[in-house]
Amino acid sequence: YTSKDGLLDLELEASYRQVNLDGKPTNLLSYNGQVPGPRLEAKPGDIVRIRFKNNLSDPTNIHYHGLHIPPTGNADDVFRRIDSGESALYEFSIPQQHPGGIAYYHPHLHGYVADQILGGLGGMFIVRGALDEIPEIQAAEQTFLFLKDFVVEQRQPMMGRMAGREGDLVTVNGQVNPSFSIPAGGLARLRLVNASNARFYRLALEKHPLYLIATDGHPLSTPVEIQELLLSPGERAEVLVQGDQEAGQYRLLNLPYSRGQMGMMGGGMMRRDRGGPGMMGRGRMGPGMMEGNDQDSPQTLATLAYTGQVEPQSIPQQLIEVETLPEPQTVRQFELDHGMVPGQGMVFLINGKSFDHQRIDTQVSLDTVEDWEVSNTGVMDHPFHLHTNPFQVIARNGQPVPYQAWKDTVLIPTGETVRIRIPFRDFPGKTVYHCHILDHEELGMMGTIEMK
Ligand code: C2O
Ligand code: CU
Ligand code: CU
């Protein structure tokens, strides 16, 4: 679905659907019968009108993760509830100054988010922009990769809600190991979304470096050469790949990564050392215990095949200037942790509190800049996401970061502190920040923010 004459107008229906996944019919939740949902595409200045119908048996809503639009009304109100059988209109305009990049639409009604995302809901929302006009990028072979795992073979997900549930089938665009062909000598532009409930992807392409050109919905100033790319749930990225002159096939791999884990022994929480011999071993730990998502060997996600021949293309040197933000007027601290609450079991907490939609946790003034120091004192990694206003990461554990980039979701590994700088702009209203392992969000790791 692409906008025409300044308007992106569509019907979107959430419903149950039997979809073939890796040759097996699987019952999923779909948007318009598709998993992933249809790709939507618009440009700054366009009006977006989504006539939504909820044909699920539970309530739901839609969040436009990564779009800088009002968190209120018919735009991006995550407190809105669309009951089973109801229709609703979403209508908003994409601001003229909006950067081009990848956004991600998905359900966001607290209490239902994790199940609905794990069940299959979600889709890409592309905003076209200045990056698309750079000649080398225009000439590159554009490939969309929507990374998502599903529960198919087992009746139970691989891990419990506390660890964050992962499905046993990992797909790209709903397919197992799809193949993408790239003209030999040309550039490939991979546009990636981690649309999983809890699974992390540590991506590497065999024998090729990746050139990072955009993080979340925003271009970088210059490409950054990387050997691998870690994407936690909710994060997006774009990379260029320099194609070989000869034909060949290369696997896009998902390398092992431990996002931390915990177990309960004698009722206590145990910390596992990352990468070293820990108190908790690898492998199954028995009923009632939680595991991390260690995979022992790389998985193949997709295959890039170089075919044909084009004029050699090179990586562009200059992209889109990233704004330098002024010093903050306010600095706040956020601590991510978990704890046992008698009668409630395990809860996930931000500054000692579990989510309450009626409480305002953070009040900010529009047209100010704030630094947030987010620390993770728990035993599992948490991808921290703020709605409406993107931010820049300033430092990790007190060390400045190597390059400036906009983000809306940033990984806070266990034991680390990340300092982010946020300009609050344009839109008053109430919205949220939370862990994007959606089971953790459901278990309480979400706070409310009011901007005025
Ligand atoms: Cu992608 Cu609050 O969500
Ligand atoms: Cu979001
Ligand atoms: Cu988390």
Q: Write the DSSP assignment of 355-389 as a string of letters.
A: --TTS--EEE-TTEEEEEEEEE-SSB-EEEEESSS
Q: Which fold has domain 7-128?
A: Immunoglobulin-like (2.60.40)
Q: Whose CA is nearest to atom 3 of ligand 1?
A: 65
Q: Whose CA is nearest to atom 1 of ligand 1?
A: 65
The confidence score (pLDDT) of residue 154 equals: 66
Q: ipTM surpassing 0.95, yes or no? A: yes
Question: Is the dihedral angle over the CA atoms 275, 336, 111, 448 positive or is it negative?
Answer: negative
DSSP 344: T
Ligand 1 atom nearest to 446, measured from its CA: 2
Query: How many A from CA of 385 to the centre of ligand 2?
Result: 7
The confidence score (pLDDT) of residue 295 equals: 56
With a 6 Å cutoff on the Cβ, whether 385 touches ligand 1 is yes
| Alpha helices for 39-143 (secondary structure H) | 113-118, 135-139
**Cis check: omega of the bond before 178, within 30 degrees of 0:** no
Q: Taking Cα atoms as reference points, which of 22, 246, 40 lies closest to residue 149? A: 22
The confidence score (pLDDT) of residue 281 equals: 29
The confidence score (pLDDT) of residue 156 equals: 66
With a 6 Å cutoff on the Cβ, whether 233 touches ligand 1 is no
Q: Taking Cα atoms as reference points, which of 440, 119, 428, 181 lies closest to residue 310? A: 181
Superfamily of domain 330-451: Cupredoxins -  blue copper proteins (2.60.40.420)
The confidence score (pLDDT) of residue 180 equals: 95
The confidence score (pLDDT) of residue 158 equals: 60
* The total number of residues written for the chain in this structure: 452
Residue ranges of domains in the chain: 7-128, 135-273+286-307, 330-451
With a 6 Å cutoff on the Cβ, whether 106 touches ligand 1 is yes
pLDDT of the chain along its 452 residues, tens only? 999 999 999 999 999 999 989 888 999 999 999 999 999 999 999 999 999 999 999 999 999 999 999 999 999 999 999 999 999 999 999 999 999 999 999 999 999 999 999 999 999 999 999 999 999 999 999 999 999 999 987 666 667 888 999 998 999 999 999 999 988 889 999 999 999 999 999 999 999 999 999 999 999 999 999 999 999 999 999 999 998 888 899 999 999 999 986 544 333 333 333 333 222 323 333 333 333 444 578 999 999 999 888 888 899 999 999 999 999 999 999 999 998 878 877 889 999 999 999 999 999 999 999 999 999 999 999 999 999 999 999 999 999 999 999 999 999 999 999 999 999 999 999 999 999 999 999 999 999 999 99
Query: How many A from CA of 353 to the centre of ligand 1?
Result: 19
Q: Write the DSSP assignment of 407-420 as a string of letters.
A: ESEEEE-TT-EEEE
Superfamily of domain 135-273+286-307: Cupredoxins -  blue copper proteins (2.60.40.420)
Ligand 1 atom nearest to 387, measured from its CA: 2
Do the first three CATH levels of 135-273+286-307 and 330-451 match, i.e. the same topology?
yes
